[in-house]
Amino acid sequence: MPTTPTTPQENSHQVAAKAEFWWAALILGIVTLLIGMMVYMTLHWATMPPSRVETIDPTTLHLAGEFVEDNLGSAVEADGSVTVRVIGNQYSFTPQCLLLPTDTPVKFRATSADVVHGFNIAQTNVNLMLIPGYIVTFKTTFNKPAELVMPCHEFCGIGHAAMWAHVKVVDKAEFFKQAGNGRRLSCVKQQ
Ligand code: CUA
């Protein structure tokens, strides 16, 4: 470093300092945006840290409790929302076809009976992991009727590629007409 910088060198220092300032500002902006997204997701989606998740014994799912077979599928709650309970196991989802209403708050409650599976409804923001021993929850709303696929997107063994289910989003009125008798709904028989 010269002790007595000439004018062009001073200029190049200024240019460098200016560039450094703007790069630092850009990085700070990106970091602020990412932290802002985390805060927004936490508040808006009520994303919970792992310490808050519910646990369940994966070996007795089929015997008693919330995830017995006749409690799986879509259930209408007293407040008009819908809770959908799903199990993933090697190599299928139960139910094999989820029936969901449009324009209604839908809450998924799902778990795995054996290994880690992926739970992803294509073309939507539903993207979860089913981990044995834990109940995962997610709230969303579907805007329009659709026939969607739900592939497992977490490698879970030799049958992974064949593990997927259907999702049928139907008009709210049609859904609640079928829900009239209070049973759990799915579209397994309609396929
Ligand atoms: Cu289940 Cu991959």
- Within 10 A of 15 (CB to CB), how many other CB atoms are there? 10
Identify which of 90, 85, 135 has the alpha carbon closest to the alpha carbon of residue 117: 90
Per-residue pLDDT tens listing for the chain (191 residues) = 555 556 777 788 999 999 999 999 999 999 999 999 988 887 876 665 555 678 888 888 888 889 998 899 999 998 989 999 999 999 999 999 999 999 999 999 999 999 999 999 998 989 999 999 999 988 999 999 999 999 999 999 999 999 999 999 999 999 988 887 777 888 887 54
Q: Is the overall model pTM greater than 0.85, yes or no?
A: no
User: What pLDDT, on a 0 to 100 scale, did the predictor assign at position 191?
Assistant: 46
CA of 156 to the centre of ligand 1 (A): 4
Atom of ligand 1 lying closest to residue 130 CA: 1
Three-class SS of residue 39? helix
| Ligand 1 neighbours (beta carbon < 6 A) | 88, 91, 117-118, 152, 154-156, 160, 163
CA of 113 to the centre of ligand 1 (A): 12
Which residue's CA is the nearest one to ligand 1's atom 1? 117
N-to-C CA span, the chain: 77
